[in-house]
Amino acid sequence: MKAYAKTALVLCLICACAALVLSLANALTAPRIKDYEDGVLKSALEAVSGGKAVGDYVPVEDNPVVSGYYPILPSGYILSLRANGYGGEITLLAAYDAKGVLTAAKLVSDSETPGLGKRAEESWYMDKFIGKGTDMPVRKNMLSASDAEAVSGASVTFTGVSRALLAGSMFVSMKEAN
Amino acid sequence: MKVKELTKGILRENPVFIIMLGMCPTLGVTTQVINALGMGAGVIFVLTCSNILIAALKNIIPDSVRIPCYIVIIASFVTIVEMFLHAFAPSIYAALGVYLPLIVVNCIILGRAEAFASKNSVADSLLDGIGMGLGFTLALTLIALIREVLGKGTITVFAIGGFNGVISVPLLKDWPVRVMALAPGALLLMGYLKAFFNRLSEKKAQNQEAAK
């Protein structure tokens, strides 16, 4: 009994010390990480808005893919989308016109594999989706041979991103219809 | 304190080419030299710190829970590295992606904790951590350098001032050997380098035998 108590106590103490050190590291780094993430979001918004005026963020509660949107003035939307990638959740900003046609998109955060899924961060990656609406290519056989080759080795990332963009297009179409 | 503990990891017991540990990040992050350097720096920090702490606590940690204790210590150091890279070197943090948290389960770190730090002094464990970490970093950098030069025709290092950090290699920039930038290229190169280091080890053993 005494041996078990000692074992549990040592494990508890090590965990408590680890938690203390991590909380200190978090206190030191959290403000800088927040500034960095705000900067990334701001530059992504500027990139996808194409210089147009953007309204305030409107959160969306009941949608598994669309977490919120910024209205583009005079028409269109920039959606904040959640996609399922190979390394976890991918967050992206996607701009649509009033008909739900994608005009620009950019990854904001992801944990994809370097050299494979990470290629979705590069500017050329979204070109295959630009100009598409509900006809968004969500399978590799819907792409040209060169585009299919470009996403090979990262099918999960491609499927996650394309389905999120399709869901975004449908969200805009339904919103405009209402 | 033995200096050989520092030097053994660089070539004689190199964790990648000789012991063959940590293959997942070795093959995964070596697409660019900068990724290899960032990953290597993270591993040196985690390996050295965890080795020191585990050696210092070896008489306190009960044998029955040593692995959970090692994992808590290693995971804490990895999380600290992750937070600081995210805050102060976001481009390396983004480039390393999922491989950064995976340092927790890197066989080299847990392997050195179990095989060395838990049985040796703090000073020797410190040298072992630095040596093994340097050996891992050098191996990663060598693989990344060959893969990036052949596969992309570039060498990507840290951007300083007006220098954007990318050095272009003439000819290979326009006609790269693309397979080297992909996963099969990493496996092929790893095979050739392993054969080369095996040959070196065999030759050294033969010379020692002849000297006797």
Average the pLDDT over B25-47 and give the result: 88
Least confident range from A8-22, A25-39, A50-64: namely A50-64
Pairing of strands A77-85, A88-96: antiparallel
* Chain centroid offset of residue B176 CA: 26
SS3 A80: strand
| Residue A28 or A120, more confident | A28
Phi, psi angle pair for A111, to nearest 5°: -125, 40
Residue A64 has pLDDT above 80, yes or no: yes
For B12-28, the pLDDT digits (tens) are: 888 899 888 888 888 88
Q: Contact, B15 vs B9, CB < 8 A?
A: yes
What is the nearest CA distance from A18 to chain B, expressed in angstroms?
6
Question: Rounded to the nearest 5 degrees, what angle is found at the Cα of A131, between the Cα atoms of A129 and A89?
Answer: 30
Q: How confident is the model at residue A114 (pLDDT cuts 50, 70, 90)?
A: low
Residue in A closest to B98 by C-alpha: A111
- Which residue in chain A is spatially nearest to B63 when comparing CA positions? A7
Tell me which residue in A29, A113, A121 faces B83 most closely, judged by beta carbons.
Answer: A29
| Per-residue model confidence (pLDDT) at position B181 | 87
Give me the residue label for tokens 């219809």: A177
Q: Which residues of A touch B (CB under 8 A)?
A: 3, 6-7, 10-11, 14-15, 18, 21-22, 25-26, 28-29, 32-33, 36, 87-88, 110-116, 118, 121, 153
Query: In this model, does residue B147 exceed pLDDT 90?
Result: yes
User: Which band of pLDDT confidence, cut at 50, 70 and 90, is reported for residue A167?
Assistant: very high
The range of the structural domain enclosing residue A96 comes to 1-178
B31/A115 touch (CB, cutoff 8 Å), yes or no: yes
Rg (CA), chain B: 18
Give the mean model confidence (pLDDT) for residues B99-113. Answer: 86
Least confident of A8-22, A82-96, B135-149: A82-96
Could you read off the pLDDT of B66-100 as tens digits, one per residue?
Answer: 999 999 999 999 999 999 999 998 888 877 777 78
**How many domains does chain A divide into?**
1
Give the best residue of B67, B70, B78, B80 to mutate against chain A (max A CB count within 10 A): B80
Q: Domain coordinates of chain B in residue numbers?
A: 4-140
The DSSP code sequence of A25-73 is HHHHHHHHHHHHHHHHHHHHHHHHHTT--B---EE-SS-SSEEEEEEBS
Q: pLDDT band for B50, please (50, 70, 90 cuts).
A: very high
What's the Cα-to-Cα distance from B124 to each of A8, A46, B70, B81, B117, rounded to whole Å? 29, 53, 18, 23, 8
Which runs of consecutive H residues, i.e. helices, occur in A50-154? 145-150
Please check the confidence at residue B55 and state whether its pLDDT lies above 90: yes
Confidence of residue A115 (pLDDT cuts 50, 70, 90): low
Does B170 have pLDDT greater than 70? yes
Q: Is the pLDDT reported for residue A19 higher than 70? A: yes
Distance in angstroms (rounded) separating the CA atoms of residues A39 and A108: 10
What is the per-residue pLDDT for A177? 83
The pLDDT of residue B186: 92
Comparison of pLDDT for B159 and B129, the residue scoring more: B129
- Order of strands across the sheet with A66-71? A58-59, A66-71, A77-85, A88-96, A102-109
pLDDT at A16 over 80: yes
Residue B154 forms beta bridges with which residues?
Answer: B168
Are A29 and A45 within 8 A, CB to CB? no
Q: Would you call A32 and B60 a contact, using CB atoms and an 8 Å cutoff?
A: no
Per-residue pLDDT at B164 = 82
Under the phi-then-psi rule, with left for phi > 0, alpha for psi from -120 to 50, and beta for the rest, what region is B169?
A: beta
> Of the candidates B101, B86, B103, which has an alpha carbon nearest to the alpha carbon of residue B140?
B103
SS3 content of chain B, % helix, strand, coil (to 5): 70, 5, 25
CA distance readout (Å), B176 to A86, B44, B49, B157: 28, 32, 40, 19
Q: Give the pLDDT of residue A139.
A: 84
- Give me the pLDDT at residue B1, please: 62
Residue with tokens 């591993």: B43
State chain A's mean pLDDT as an integer: 88
Are the CB atoms for B201 and B18 separated by under 8 Å?
yes
B195 band by pLDDT with thresholds 50, 70 and 90? very high
Interchain proximity B86–A15, CB inside 8 Å: no
Contacts of B146 (CB under 8 A, 6+ apart): B180, B189
Q: How many residues does chain B have?
A: 212
